[in-house]
Amino acid sequence: MKRSLDPESSLRWTCKSVRNLADELKRQGHRISYPVVAELLHELGYSLQSNRNTKEGSPHPDRNRQFEYINARVERAIGEKQPVISVDTKKKELRGDFKNPGSVWRPKGAPEKVRVHDFRVPEWWRVAPYRVYDLAENNGWVSVGLDHDTASFAVEAIRRWWHAMGQERYPDAQQLLITADGGGNNGSRLRLWRLELQKLADETGLIIAVSHFTPGTSKWNKIEHRLFSFISKNWRGQPLTSLEVIVSLIAATTTKKGLKVHAAIDDSSYPPGAKVSNSAMQEIHLLRDPFHGEWNYEIHPRGGNVIS
């Protein structure tokens, strides 16, 4: 067997078993057994390995400064008793008797029976859980959406959190600070996101302040570690067979540090592909911060003086 170090050698980039490799070598005229193939691969420093998530791409040069800016903005708002929320959408979950990773205590020999394949059932659907996490109060709100995951759906979840929980906790609030990822339905470049926030500002009279995380840094969003990681633990091994099961599992999530979660179904329709005209954008009372105004900005209620 030729021990070439040429990286283009076909056998050096394979996931075949040592038995299959030995069979291939035999077809090429070599006399070799699979234990010898395993021994040779071991001597050359090779082993079967899975992929590892390590590449994040080139970080933005102001990534750390944006972290510091967000932190200072959050601490200032909390110190002034103003609400601060972290928001995000979790990946869509398939509703039905499908396998949900993890284990749960059940009588021995009586596991929950689920489908072998995760093929979508036409009469069922995927649900989109949009999460709102109150950083100061350690409380969460989850809107379980049945339609498209749009900016309108995202802002509606924030609206529902405010009316159900926020305004009672912050009766003297003048501003709502939102920290969010830079992409998705609450992306920093999404026109519909800003238009819907303008509507929310008009309805509530609140100044809506927003700070986005830089691209590729969503895992540092507080909501990932303080809310949905615990929800995922709570429903692990539980097939999400119905909307009632999904909502009850989310709402039953608690932690030793006092996390409380409320969940509700949002069965409204949110058609995708909504276009926001230039004229509509010009009517948004947007004030960009001096530091990276594309990530940090405020939207003021209309009805007063227009902020340019």
Query: What is the DSSP annotation of 139-171?
Result: EEEEEEESS---HHHHHHHHHHHIIIIIHHH-T
CA distances from 212 to 71, 141, 198, 221, 260 (A): 12, 20, 17, 10, 25
β-strand 207-212 against 296-299: which pairing, if any? antiparallel
The reply to whether CATH 3.30.420 applies to domain 63-299 is yes
Domain ranges of the chain: 11-43, 63-299
Place of tokens 């909390």: 78
Residue 10's pLDDT is what?
Answer: 41
Residuewise pLDDT in 10s, the chain (308 residues): 444 444 444 444 455 688 888 888 898 898 999 889 888 888 887 877 766 554 555 678 888 999 999 999 999 999 999 999 999 877 666 555 554 555 444 465 545 554 545 555 554 567 788 889 999 999 989 988 888 889 999 999 999 999 999 999 999 999 999 999 888 889 899 999 999 999 999 999 999 999 999 887 767 777 776 776 766 665 555 655 677 877 777 777 778 888 888 889 998 999 998 899 999 999 999 999 999 999 999 999 997 543 33
Residue 306's pLDDT is what?
Answer: 39
What's the CA gap between 104 and 21, in Å, rounded?
Answer: 40
What's the CA gap between 233 and 198, in Å, rounded?
Answer: 35
For the chain, the residue count is 308
273 burial (CB, 10 Å; 0-12 / 13-18 / 19+) is: exposed
CA distances from 235 to 77, 135, 147, 246 (A): 33, 23, 22, 8
Residue 52 sits at the vertex; the CA angle it makes with 47 and 57, to the nearest 5 degrees, is 135
Residue 246 sits at the vertex; the CA angle it makes with 242 and 249, to the nearest 5 degrees, is 135
User: In this structure, what is the dihedral angle of CA atoms 293, 129, 165, 187, given to the nearest 10 degrees?
Assistant: 10
CA distances from 171 to 153, 166, 281 (A): 25, 8, 30
Residue 104's pLDDT is what?
Answer: 47
Amino acid (1-letter code) at residue 160: R
Amino acid (1-letter code) at residue 97: D
